[in-house]
Structure 1
Amino acid sequence: MKTNYFFKIAALLLVVSTLSCSSRSSNIGVEGLTIEVSDNVIYDQSTVEFKVVNGGGDDVTDNATIFVDGVDIEGDSYLFTGIGARTITAETTLDQADPVIVEVIEPSYTTKMLIEDYTGAWCAWCPVVTKGIIDAHAVPVKGDHVIAVAIHNGDSMEFSLESQMRSQFDVTEFPTATLNRTPTFWIKNNVTLNMDIPQALAFLDPVQPVGLAINSSVNGDNVTADVKVGFDLNQEDLKLVVFLLENGHVEEQLDNTSYFGGPGLVPDFVHNEILRKSFTDVFGDVIPEQEQRAGNVYEVSLSVNEPGVNTTDWDIVAFVVDQAGEVVNVQKAKVGTDQDFD
């Protein structure tokens, strides 16, 4: 009797064990099926890539069907058209993933571009670039989105870190103007003495996912700039640069052109957009990674001391640069004013 009892118990344990193992085997890689997207927030006409992962962390994309708004798609990517929230899910023969939302948005920010003019009052051909900046500003609509900074060498307006900037951007002669801090310099026609305006304005064509706002105040010789950086889409490795500029400074200028009263020495030349101080490192202060998320606004308050600063002749220029040091977007505001995102 006792032997028979043990046989029954052993048989029962074998059945339970078999059923238990069978149940676990059927659930391996099934429970917790998820779908991953390359971006959760995108612009219209953008492609998103998908990856389906099982509960064990295995990539099962090839064995899954992916749905966008309930319609199955071919492959593991999809070109989104139209603004709004889109629902993404996926299923295998054994499980279905919880839905993921991809938000398709319109750009929030106007693209602006930066010209940095390496110049000097002693440089007789530098007024060619000055005239080019004036011409660029004069272009309807687009001209309002061109922002210039004059970085002086060898005169009373010289910027203290000018030589480091020249070295960083491989500026070896005067005049030289950089466009959005890219390796491509602004082209000058040596025959007509005109700058290539379409070349500069072409930098306004890309849609940029980052925008800036500036609010500043003056207290004696102290200038405070409250700068905001807004993000439409997730970004990484961005830095912020903020400059203080002076306008309307009258000082003689050598001029080999006839644009400003030359050729010869022009005693009452009006110098504008002169870089006087930098609120940040001239190559950028790091924006914290956690701040560079879609829909977020990064805020920072910065101050400098500059004798003679006022709300009539001075501007603040703020711009964001990427990992390569190239400008993503730029904003400008007169000191003492509030320039919102645009």
Structure 2
Amino acid sequence: MKTANFLKMMMLFLAIGITSCSSNSTDDGGGSGSGNGNGGGSSALTLEVSKSRVYESDAVTFTVRDANGANVTPASVITVDGTAISGSTTIFTSTGVKSAVATIGSETSNTLSVEVISPSFTTKALIEDYTGAWCGWCPRISQGIIDVHNSANGDDVIAVAVHNGDAMAFPLESQMRSQFGVTGFPTGILNRDVRWASVSGDAMNISQPLSLLNTTREVGLAINSSLSGNTVTATIKVGFDFDQSDLKLVAVLLENGRVESQTNYTNNFGGGSSIPNFVHNDILRASFTDIFGDVIPATEQVADGVYTASLSVTVGSAVNTADMDVVAFVVDASGEVVNVQKAAVGTNKDFD
């Protein structure tokens, strides 16, 4: 009899234990569901940002996600340096490191830092002037370049004269013409992207190249050069405000002050059919790099970094070495100029 009672008690204890374990294993936090911050660890918020380093004028967009990765931005309050922003997109009005966080009810996200900077570099533009001393309409662009340089900020538009069929001809000009679709003279190409438009037989559209100065550039250049005999050595630096990719560096040598007769069909420079003592400037004489650019290593194209190239080139004895310039520019993957710099040989032109 005692044995039977003992067995009944054992069965009762086992039943209670099994029932207790089953109840604990199916506990879902009271059935409150996920994503409401009340259970299951699903209330965690993650704050993301479209850019972590921006200019003052750039918009940044924040995104808030719950623990399941769902976008809960519309239900969130996002604050930057303790002040709530309207919506999820904002433009910063001052520089510095900004601290952002998101909340939904009592739940708080991670804290993100956004660095806001001012542009480091002056925007400059490039005119490549396809010309020749035999070309009667070419003084139209020569005059146009003078008019640009006489305009406000016009010195930030840098000219390179690519000569054809005369004593100043550049050996690679045919490859350049082929690359950029130049089929006639004169032709002006702006930033290796668009053609410079004329407004008459005598004048160019001056506002067109000047308008290129209105875009903020994330890349800048510095040039330091010296002359020894007929060899020019140049140190070119490329600076980056933000991470970049697929950029190339082009560096060329120009000659100034070359006096050669110039055929003229325009009313410029006195209007004569020939200008016997025409002063040619910005003559493309040599290239330190591939004329279409040397690749800048990907590891060097980083925010707040500087890439340095040491280059040299030797020019012929006919070149006026007393008045030469180095022009360096960066092109993107499409070949378009990103930014450009110019400095007289023998001088140091820092980032500006």
Taking the aligned partners of 2:227 and 2:14, their CA distance within structure 1 comes to 93
Taking the aligned partners of 1:91 and 1:120, their CA distance within structure 2 comes to 67
Give the gaps of 5 or more residues in structure 1. none
Q: Which residue of 1 aligns with 2:87?
A: 75
Which amino acid is the alignment partner of residue 150 of structure 1?
A
Q: Which residue of 2 aligns with 1:251?
A: 260
> Which stretch of structure 1 is more off in the superposition, 106-115 or 3-12?
3-12
Taking the aligned partners of 1:167 and 1:265, their CA distance within structure 2 comes to 29
Identity between Structure 1 and Structure 2 (%):
52
Which amino acid is the alignment partner of residue 294 of structure 1?
A
Q: Which residue of 2 aligns with 1:339?
A: 349
Q: Which residue of 1 aligns with 2:292?
A: 283
Taking the aligned partners of 1:11 and 1:310, their CA distance within structure 2 comes to 100
Question: In structure 2, do the counterparts of structure 1 residues 58 and 238 end up closer, same or farther at CA, with 3 Å as the change threshold?
Answer: farther
**Partner SS, residue 110 of structure 1:** coil
Query: Shift of residue 149 of structure 1?
Result: 0.2
Corresponding residue to 1:203 among 209, 212, 215: 212
Which amino acid is the alignment partner of residue 225 of structure 1?
A
Contact 1:315/1:332 (<8 A) preserved: yes
Question: In structure 2, do the counterparts of structure 1 residues 57 and 128 end up closer, same or farther at CA, with 3 Å as the change threshold?
Answer: same
Taking the aligned partners of 1:114 and 1:218, their CA distance within structure 2 comes to 24
Taking the aligned partners of 1:232 and 1:36, their CA distance within structure 2 comes to 22
**Partner SS, residue 158 of structure 2:** strand
Query: Shift of residue 315 of structure 1?
Result: 0.9
Taking the aligned partners of 2:308 and 2:68, their CA distance within structure 1 comes to 41
Corresponding residue to 2:52 among 35, 40, 55: 40
Taking the aligned partners of 1:168 and 1:257, their CA distance within structure 2 comes to 28
Whether 1:13 aligns to 2:21 is yes
Whether 1:301 aligns to 2:313 is no
Contact 2:256/2:320 (<8 A) preserved: no
Contact 1:28/1:56 (<8 A) preserved: no
Taking the aligned partners of 2:261 and 2:91, their CA distance within structure 1 comes to 57
Which amino acid is the alignment partner of residue 225 of structure 2?
S
Could you give the per-residue CA deviations for residues 81-129 of structure 1, whole angstroms, max 9, x where no partner exists?
2333322111234742222122222222212111110001111111121
Contact 1:30/1:94 (<8 A) preserved: no
Taking the aligned partners of 1:11 and 1:211, their CA distance within structure 2 comes to 73
Could you give the per-residue CA deviations for residues 164-216 of structure 1, whole angstroms, max 9, x where no partner exists?
222222222111111222224232422xx122222222222222222111112
Whether 1:178 aligns to 2:189 is yes
Give the gaps of 5 or more residues in structure 2. 1-8
Which amino acid is the alignment partner of residue 337 of structure 1?
T
**1:92-103 superposed matches below 5 A:** 92-93=104-105, 95-103=107-115
Taking the aligned partners of 2:40 and 2:331, their CA distance within structure 1 comes to 49
Taking the aligned partners of 1:244 and 1:286, their CA distance within structure 2 comes to 19
Which amino acid is the alignment partner of residue 192 of structure 2?
R
RMSD (Å) for aligned C-alpha atoms: 2.7
Taking the aligned partners of 1:266 and 1:127, their CA distance within structure 2 comes to 10
Query: Shift of residue 55 of structure 1?
Result: 4.4
Corresponding residue to 2:336 among 317, 321, 326: 326
Taking the aligned partners of 1:55 and 1:278, their CA distance within structure 2 comes to 57
Question: In structure 2, do the counterparts of structure 1 residues 69 and 182 end up closer, same or farther at CA, with 3 Å as the change threshold?
Answer: same
Could you give the per-residue CA deviations for residues 230-280 of structure 1, whole angstroms, max 9, x where no partner exists?
222344433322111111223322222454466233343222111122222
Taking the aligned partners of 1:217 and 1:154, their CA distance within structure 2 comes to 30
Whether 1:241 aligns to 2:250 is yes
Which amino acid is the alignment partner of residue 124 of structure 2?
K
Taking the aligned partners of 1:57 and 1:169, their CA distance within structure 2 comes to 48
Corresponding residue to 1:226 among 220, 225, 235: 235
Could you give the per-residue CA deviations for residues 296-333 of structure 1, whole angstroms, max 9, x where no partner exists?
22222223332347763211111122333322221001
Q: Which residue of 2 aligns with 1:85?
A: 97
Which amino acid is the alignment partner of residue 333 of structure 1?
A
Question: In structure 2, do the counterparts of structure 1 residues 34 and 297 end up closer, same or farther at CA, with 3 Å as the change threshold?
Answer: farther
Contact 2:196/2:204 (<8 A) preserved: no
Q: Which residue of 1 aligns with 2:323?
A: 313
Question: In structure 2, do the counterparts of structure 1 residues 56 and 263 end up closer, same or farther at CA, with 3 Å as the change threshold?
Answer: same
